[in-house]
Amino acid sequence: MRRRHLEMIISRMKDLEDPDPKLEQYLTPTHIAVDILVNARENGDIEGKKVAELGCGGAPFGIGSWILGAREVLCVDIDPRCIKLAMNNLEQAGTDPRVGNPPGRVEFEQMDISDPASDLPLVDTVFMNPPFGSQSRRADRPFIREAMRMGNTIYSLHNGVTRPFLLKEIDRLGGKVLDEETYRMGIDHRYHFHTKERLLIDVILLRYRVGDIDG
């Protein structure tokens, strides 16, 4: 599928009407999600692979991976509203004739990944845009730990100012950062504590692997 077609499909995905500030539920901008997905496809991390999206929200990465040929996709979120939203987005995406009939399977799981009893399956690739920790300090740590437990290759989007911590944490957990990319992310007025109509921040995308893997 061409990039512009993928952008059109993802741009039509619905967002939560009443996001929960405690969960830091923010929409991943279409151009950032598509850029990450296209690069992941070029890296061989999607087609024919088992893919998961943690904290999926409307599941742009999960559904995008399904469109791009993932063998299995698992979308996980703590909020049942997000699971319903993601399922509706999948149904809507499937009606686009350009999508065709991807052979992969998409499943959804409502789960708190910080729960020690969580038992998510192992996958090849994990995508996530976890909480930045603005409302709850270190809220992204459970996501990093779970992604590295279940995935071989992780694509993780974070607030750019946390880069030093992220690199130390990934190294501590036995990971190896392969690539970095910085984006400007626009955050619209979304919660009562936002004082500006739109805020631009630098976010960093880290692609890393678990274990002693070359390349």
Is 125 a domain residue? yes
Is 215 a domain residue? no
What is Dmax (Cα atoms) for the chain?
Answer: 46
Q: By percentage, how much of the chain surpasses pLDDT 70?
A: 88
CA 212, CA 37: separation in Å to the nearest integer? 24
Is 82 a domain residue? yes
Is 153 a domain residue? yes
Q: By percentage, how much of the chain surpasses pLDDT 90?
A: 72
- What is the number of alpha carbons within 13 Å of residue 187 lying toward its C-beta? 16
Number of domains forming the structure of the chain = 1
- pLDDT digit string (tens) for 48-57? 999 999 999 9
Average pLDDT over residues 127-132: 88
- pLDDT digit string (tens) for 145-156? 999 999 999 999
Average pLDDT over residues 62-88: 97
CATH number at residue 81: 3.40.50.150
Q: Is the pTM of this model over 0.85?
A: yes
Strand order in the sheet with 198-210: 105-110, 72-77, 50-54, 123-128, 151-159, 198-210, 175-188
Is 180 a domain residue? yes
Domain, as residue range, for 82: 3-210
Is 43 a domain residue? yes
Is 195 a domain residue? yes
Query: 1 or 62: whose pLDDT is higher?
Result: 62
Is 115 a domain residue? yes
